Structure 1
Amino acid sequence: MTTLVAEPFDGSLAQRLAGQEAADACFYWLGQAGFLLAFAGRRILIDPYLSDSLAEKYRGKAFSHERMMPAPISTAELGKVDVVLVTHHHTDHMDPATLAPIAATNPDCRFVVPRASLDEAQRRIGVGHERLIALDAGENFAPFDGVHVTVIRAAHEALERSAEGWHRFLGYVVQVGAAKLYHSGDTIPFDGLVEEVEAHAPDIALLPVNGRRAELTAAGIAGNLTLSEAIDLAGAIGAGHMIGHHYGMFAFNTAPAEAIDQAAAAHTCRPQIHRARTGVEYRIF
């Protein structure tokens, strides 16, 4: 059984990464749906949003995208990045101001993207197709020894497909050594999701908890799992731990931190509930 220990650390994330042992298996929250996973000297990013590009794009408009929290690290401080997993084309997940600098400073880094968004990914990241790994739900990718990625469907708020039938929204089950992490991407519950993920026996579920509201949906801003839906999903797929994220970034589309903490304290059975936090190293044993 996988053990997850959340250890707060002093100093910056950049300092923590600089002093990290090569054999560590751990991960860090980058804000919103972003995570950095370190394993055997490799670094994998999932949906990093480390810029202010959305604040600039929507300044003065109906829904301000000013950051509620600073980025815990800059792209220049990330060091060597081996693989980036992108779940879908929304800018807080596929951010050109984050991904293009990572690509420029890491010429060997590859980017896993939805096949439905391949051309958009190439435009935003600024790399050739040879550095993009275009996948669809049900497919697999093994970037290096000890790491295996399986692609899962996601519904943000619908199971959308391209004209070719490829899914626009994805999640990933990432196996690192003996542990499996499920990052759902942006999703709501849908028929077949539990069975699809449960078959891969994830130990840790990284799930959004900001929910959905009719006024945002009407404005074209798709929603996610509610906190209670995320807890139910984590339990149904057999995960031992759930990390609630996708909160605390944009004031119009977040969840109260205290509500996540209260749910974590009240939930005394599996899965163990955690609120994603910066300044914390999540160590996997």
Structure 2
Amino acid sequence: MDDVHSDWGDWLLRAVEGSAPEGLAVWYLGCNGFVVKASDGTTLFVDPYLGTGDPPRTVRMVPVPFDSADVREADAVLATHEHSDHVDGPSQAPILANTDAPYFAPDASLAEVEAQGWREAYDLDDDRFVEVSEGDSVEVGEVTVHVEPAHDPDAEHPVSYVVEHAGRTFFHGGDARPSEQFADIGERYDIDLGALAFGSAGRIPDKETGDPKDTQWYADENDVVEAARQLRLDRFLPTHWDMWKGLTADPTALGPHVRGFEYPRRLELLEIGDSTVV
């Protein structure tokens, strides 16, 4: 497998390590990746992707924020679904190899781990990989992670995650679209900050033929705000808009869509490397 290389060095990782959040904090890694850190020091990585895509079909438009081999502190790595920018050996397996972190993922994501040969390539035991499904909850330090449904028509088995700590709640929806499942999640949880994938439609080369193909992998401005409404988010954090050439979008355009509804109460924008307190 190819090694990960970042022009940023390790400053972002060291900043996360040196931080002491009072409750729950998140750092946006670009694409749909996050580091989540709690006041007890528990550190989670959700969908960290450090690859450059598969040019010319998928071309990364933001920096690679760190080298996965430089991660020294991680208590768990979570995957929302099996796509290559969410389950990627060079991005995630070195984190497992350098720490004691387990890898939580649904069955289709673990099948992709097996297909990529993580265990053999990085000398990882089977017990490092934990299958999760909707309705499960796992405790990592003082953090509770609830596994919830997600509607992503392009994925085989997507899930979403509700991360709770010290009375604060962070939601990661993967690449999901609006659904009745999100409405149910919004009724059952009081979500302080929710991350949802947002992007434009474009013409992306077909994986098999290379011919340009009409492509929409993420919710557009109307659908992503509808998902935020269903989830009853206090603060809505759009993601993935920065990532792929031809599918990028302007998150500031979501402002007029958000203003007309009770939820989400606030639009929050982060660039790669930025952090916020949940």
Q: 1:226 to 1:78 in 2, by over 3 A?
A: same
How far 1:66 sits from its partner (Å)?
2.3
Name 1:154's counterpart in structure 2: 150
Q: Which residue, 171, 180, 184 being the options, matches 1:182?
A: 171
Q: 1:215 to 1:72 in 2, by over 3 A?
A: closer
For residues 155 and 272 of structure 1, the distance between their equivalents in structure 2, rounded to whole angstroms, comes to 23
Name 1:97's counterpart in structure 2: 90
Q: How many residues align?
A: 257
Three-state SS of the structure 2 residue aligned to 1:97 is helix
For residues 19 and 172 of structure 2, the distance between their equivalents in structure 1, rounded to whole angstroms, comes to 23
CA deviations on 1:184-241 (whole Å, 9 max, x unpaired) are: 1111122333113431222211111115569789959662222232223223322210
How far 1:98 sits from its partner (Å)?
0.6
How far 1:24 sits from its partner (Å)?
5.5
AA aligned to 2:33 is G
Name 2:7's counterpart in structure 1: none
Three-state SS of the structure 1 residue aligned to 2:268 is strand
Q: 1:243 to 1:22 in 2, by over 3 A?
A: closer
Three-state SS of the structure 1 residue aligned to 2:35 is strand
RMSD: 2.9
Three-state SS of the structure 1 residue aligned to 2:180 is coil
Q: Which residue, 139, 160, 167 being the options, matches 1:171?
A: 160
**Are the aligned partners of 2:200 and 2:216 in contact in 1 as well (CA < 8 Å)?**
no
**Are the aligned partners of 2:182 and 2:230 in contact in 1 as well (CA < 8 Å)?**
no
Q: Which residue, 254, 257, 280 being the options, matches 2:248?
A: 254
AA aligned to 2:160 is G
AA aligned to 1:36 is V
For residues 232 and 98 of structure 2, the distance between their equivalents in structure 1, rounded to whole angstroms, comes to 39
Normalization by structure 1: what TM-score?
0.79
Which structure 2 residues correspond to residues 215-234 of structure 1 after superposition, within 5 A? 223-234=217-228
AA aligned to 2:97 is A
1:116 correspondence with 2:115: no
**Are the aligned partners of 2:163 and 2:170 in contact in 1 as well (CA < 8 Å)?**
yes
Q: 1:170 to 1:214 in 2, by over 3 A?
A: farther
In structure 2, list runs of 5 or more residues that go unmatched. Answer: 1-9, 207-211
For residues 34 and 68 of structure 2, the distance between their equivalents in structure 1, rounded to whole angstroms, comes to 13
How far 1:22 sits from its partner (Å)?
6.7
For residues 79 and 156 of structure 1, the distance between their equivalents in structure 2, rounded to whole angstroms, comes to 32
Name 1:75's counterpart in structure 2: 68
**Are the aligned partners of 1:122 and 1:128 in contact in 2 as well (CA < 8 Å)?**
no
Normalization by structure 2: what TM-score?
0.81
Say which is worse superposed, 132-141 or 81-90, in terms of deviation.
Answer: 132-141
AA aligned to 1:152 is E
